[in-house]
């Protein structure tokens, strides 16, 4: 792995235990996780359900604290949410009573950006995610795919250095999902954002990422980090190449063992 | 196409038809009461037309002015206390599990306790002045405001709360921008029910504590077995309660004004 002066995200020996709500012994959700992500890198995390992907992402955002180890973003130790990070949520987490534009402006408003300026920035980012003209609609008037575009625009609007995405496209139909993946890559390529992307879809991880982190459960650990050597910019055609198929099946090879164990257990 | 154009018409038609059985039953009840009343066999059943005539007099001859002023003042102060304090207590319970654990039992007890039984105690505490009547209104109405506020505040979608926290929203910001908005229907329902219960408390207090206000009129006419006047006042109180609840329903959304589409 390449060494960088300051990683965008440095996850260092991180562990997390959850108390069992029914009073059993604590669940070891994560243990000894080390991941270092370079500025501008696109890294996906994949692994069986319950291996701690969401927990890890929330810890990088500072929504929950680490029990062991340390996480730094841009060289600064994470102790809570910060302005250089933004999250795109699996359930979109839009506010249905606000217009699309006000949803996109939500983060800006929290930062005290003036109304006029918020409006301008929100519109600019709606344009960027392909929703120009939808400013005054409400989220319920949009399809799932469009709602998540709003979620993406809301995160982009605060101009984050680090974008955290937790299965952002898992609730979206397969065709729309492919479009969203391409659009995300296009948007990311225009920035120097670092992206940490959690997914269950192997093809999605391969298509998007520079590296795929494969995790295993109980306790959640990094099993392997797979570099994705597909050229960029990545277009739809790349999905039908032999290398794409090889890499996807390489991910599946690592996962299959864990899921088979799961089924046997 | 034809379906979309006929739908509103049909809905209006259905709504109108829905009222018809009520109108029929009301007419039957009124006619029966009138006939029974005309026989003069039961002192408790005066002719409906007499009640209507007394109601007309009540509205025009000035008998109502002073009692109405007294009652509305008591009700207004009592409800202001209930809605103000009830909302604050409800917010505290909704936001803090500790406060909730501390107060929950008392609130549940207050919801179901026969408040009327506490009126003598209130008289000991506050005497027979307006304070006791105001306290009665408060004790009748505050619990439902607390319960609706606290359960409304707790309903906020955890994913939205997390989203707000991630974007650096302050605790106060989360309360204002998310929790209260999501709780709005519950807050409004709490106020509506609180107003209805407050009117009950008002009349109970006036009848039991001091012969003043609308409750005082009820007591006066009731003791004198002046049934047509008694029913006219009761009719007025019921209409007043409906008006108060209606006003609360109309004003509430103006105060808690959010575009809640979707
Ligand atoms: N708040 C919590 N309290 C107790 N246990 C929890 C809590 N959150 C997560 N866990 C447990 O920690 C482990 C990791 O959960 P996490 O949600 O991070 O997994 P995940 O990899 O995101 O799973 P999925 O793929 O299903 O989203 C699981 O065993 C889960 O049951
Ligand atoms: Mg998860």
In whole angstroms, give the CA distance from residue A262 to residue A63: 29
pLDDT tops 70 at residue A160 = yes
Distance from CA of B174 to the nearest CA of A (A): 10
List B residues 148-207 in contact with A (Cβ-Cβ < 8 A).
Answer: 157, 159-160, 162-169, 173, 177-178, 181
Query: Whose CA is closest to A255, among A30, A29, A48?
Result: A48
Question: In this structure, are residues A232 and A189 in contact, taking their beta carbons and an 8 Å threshold?
Answer: yes
Task: State the pLDDT at residue B241.
Answer: 86
For residue range B117-175, what is the model confidence (pLDDT) as tens digits?
Answer: 888 888 899 888 889 999 999 999 999 999 999 999 999 999 999 999 999 999 999 99
Task: State the pLDDT at residue B18.
Answer: 77
* Contact check, Cβ <8 Å, B166/A110: no
| CA end-to-end distance (rounded Å), chain A | 35
**Helix-strand-coil percent breakdown of chain A, rounded to 5?**
40, 25, 40
Residue B257 contacts A, CB cutoff 8 Å: no
CA atoms within 13 A on the CB side of B169: 21
B-chain residues near A61 (CB < 8 A):
166
B-chain residues near A158 (CB < 8 A):
167
The chain-wide mean pLDDT, for chain B, equals 86
Give the number of the atom of ligand 1 that is nearest the alpha carbon of residue A55.
18
In whole angstroms, give the CA distance from residue B60 to residue A217: 81
3-state class (DSSP) for residue A154: helix
Count Cβ atoms within 10 A of the Cβ of residue B169 and give its class: 0-12 exposed, 13-18 middle, 19 or more buried: buried
The structure tokens listed for A38 are: 């370079």
Give the number of the atom of ligand 1 that is nearest the alpha carbon of residue A16.
12
Count Cβ atoms within 10 A of the Cβ of residue B14 and give its class: 0-12 exposed, 13-18 middle, 19 or more buried: exposed
The structure tokens listed for B139 are: 């004790």
CA of B152 to the centre of ligand 1 (A): 27
* Contact check, Cβ <8 Å, B168/A138: no
Question: Which ligand sits nearest to residue A26's alpha carbon?
Answer: 1
In whole angstroms, give the CA distance from residue A35 to residue A33: 7
User: Ligand 2 (ion): which residues have CB within 5 A?
Assistant: A 54
The chain-wide mean pLDDT, for chain A, equals 93
Closest partner residue to A89 (CB to CB) among B163, B177, B259 is B163
* Contact check, Cβ <8 Å, B166/A83: no
pLDDT above 90: percentage of residues in chain A: 87
Chain A residue with Cα closest to B257? A97
- This model of the complex carries an ipTM of 0.91
B-chain residues near A141 (CB < 8 A):
262
Give the number of the atom of ligand 1 that is nearest the alpha carbon of residue A47.
21
Please choose from A15, A26, A28, A29 the residue to mutate so as to test ligand 1's pocket, defined by most ligand atoms within 8 A of CB. A29
pLDDT tops 80 at residue B261 = no
pLDDT grade, residue B211 (50/70/90)? confident
Q: Number of H helices and number of E strands within chain A?
A: 8, 10
Task: State the pLDDT at residue B4.
Answer: 41
* Best to test chain B binding among A91, A113, A168 (most B CBs inside 10 Å): A91
pLDDT tops 90 at residue A13 = yes
Read off the pLDDT of each residue in A189-212 and give the average, rounded to a whole number. Answer: 96
The structure tokens listed for A19 are: 């108390």
Closest partner residue to B162 (CB to CB) among A63, A82, A98 is A63
CA of A55 to the centre of ligand 1 (A): 6
Question: Where does chain A show beta strands of DSSP type E?
Answer: 9-18, 27-37, 42-46, 68-73, 76-77, 85-88, 162-166, 194-198, 211-216, 221-227
Edge-to-edge strand ranges of the sheet holding A162-166: A85-88, A162-166, A194-198, A42-46, A211-216, A221-227
Task: State the pLDDT at residue B259.
Answer: 46
Task: State the pLDDT at residue A261.
Answer: 66
Task: State the pLDDT at residue B6.
Answer: 45
Residue B210 contacts A, CB cutoff 8 Å: no
Among A125-129, A176-180, B45-49, the range scoring the smallest mean pLDDT is B45-49
B-chain residues near A106 (CB < 8 A):
163-164, 167
Lining ligand 1 with CB less than 6 A are A 18, 27, 29, 49-55
Give one DSSP letter per residue of B133-182, joined into a string: HHHHHHHHHHHHHHHHHHHHHHTS-HHHHHHHHHTT--HHHHIIIIIHHH
Task: State the pLDDT at residue A4.
Answer: 52
The structure tokens listed for A248 are: 């996807």
Task: State the pLDDT at residue A191.
Answer: 93
pLDDT tops 50 at residue A58 = yes
Question: In this structure, are residues A173 and A145 in contact, taking their beta carbons and an 8 Å threshold?
Answer: yes
Task: State the pLDDT at residue B104.
Answer: 93
């Amino acid at each position: 792995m390449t060494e960088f002066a300051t990683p965008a995200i440095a996850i260092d020996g991180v562990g997390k235990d959850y108390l069992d709500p029914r009073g059993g012994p604590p669940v070891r959700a994560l243990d000894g996780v080390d991941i270092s992500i370079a500025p501008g890198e696109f890294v996906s995390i994949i692994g069986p359900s319950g291996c701690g992907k969401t927990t890890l992402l929330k810890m990088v955002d500072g929504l929950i604290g680490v029990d062991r180890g340390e996480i730094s973003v841009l060289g600064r130790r994470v102790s809570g949410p910060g302005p250089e990070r933004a999250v795109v949520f699996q359930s979109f987490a839009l506010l249905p009573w606000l217009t699309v534009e006000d949803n996109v402006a939500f983060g800006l408003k929290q930062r005290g950006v003036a109304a006029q300026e918020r409006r301008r920035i929100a519109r600019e980012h709606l344009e960027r995610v392909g929703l120009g003209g939808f400013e005054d609609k409400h989220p319920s008037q949009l399809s799932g795919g469009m709602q998540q575009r709003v979620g993406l625009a809301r995160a982009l609007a605060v101009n984050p250095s680090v974008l955290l995405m937790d299965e952002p496209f898992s609730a979206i139909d397969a065709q729309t999902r492919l479009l969203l993946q391409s659009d995300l890559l296009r948007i990311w390529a225009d920035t120097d954002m670092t992206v940490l992307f959690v997914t269950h879809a192997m093809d999605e991880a391969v298509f998007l990422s520079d590296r795929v982190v494969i995790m295993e459960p109980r306790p959640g650990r990094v099993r392997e980090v797979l570099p994705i050597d597909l050229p960029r910019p990545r277009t739809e055609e790349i999905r039908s190449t032999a290398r794409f198929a090889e890499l996807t099946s390489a991910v599946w090879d690592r996962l299959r063992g864990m899921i088979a164990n799961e089924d046997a257990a | 196409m034809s379906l979309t154009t006929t739908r509103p018409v049909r809905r209006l038609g259905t709504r109108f038809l829905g009222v018809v059985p009520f109108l029929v039953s009301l007419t039957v009840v009124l006619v029966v009461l009138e006939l029974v009343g005309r026989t003069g066999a039961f002192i408790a059943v005066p002719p409906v037309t007499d009640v209507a005539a007394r109601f007309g007099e009540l509205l025009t001859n000035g008998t109502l002015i002073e009692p109405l002023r007294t009652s509305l003042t008591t009700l207004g102060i009592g409800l202001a206390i209930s809605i103000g304090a009830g909302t604050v207590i409800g917010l505290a319970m909704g936001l803090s599990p500790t406060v909730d654990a501390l107060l929950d039992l008392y609130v549940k007890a207050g919801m179901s306790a026969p408040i009327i039984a506490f009126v003598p105690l209130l008289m000991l505490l506050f005497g027979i002045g307006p304070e006791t009547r105001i306290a009665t209104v408060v004790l009748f109405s505050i619990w439902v405001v607390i319960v609706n506020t606290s359960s409304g505040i707790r309903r906020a979608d955890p994913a939205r709360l997390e989203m707000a926290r991630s974007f650096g929203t302050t605790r106060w910001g989360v309360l204002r921008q998310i929790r209260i908005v999501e709780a709005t229907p519950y807050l409004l329902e709490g106020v509506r029910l609180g107003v209805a219960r407050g009117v009950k408390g008002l009349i109970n207090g006036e009848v039991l504590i001091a012969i003043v206000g609308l409750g005082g009129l009820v007591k006066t006419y009731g003791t004198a077995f002046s049934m047509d006047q008694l029913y006219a006042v009761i009719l007025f109180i019921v209409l007043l309660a409906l008006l108060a609840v209606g006003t609360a329903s109309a004003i509430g959304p103006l105060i808690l004004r959010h575009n809640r589409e979707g």
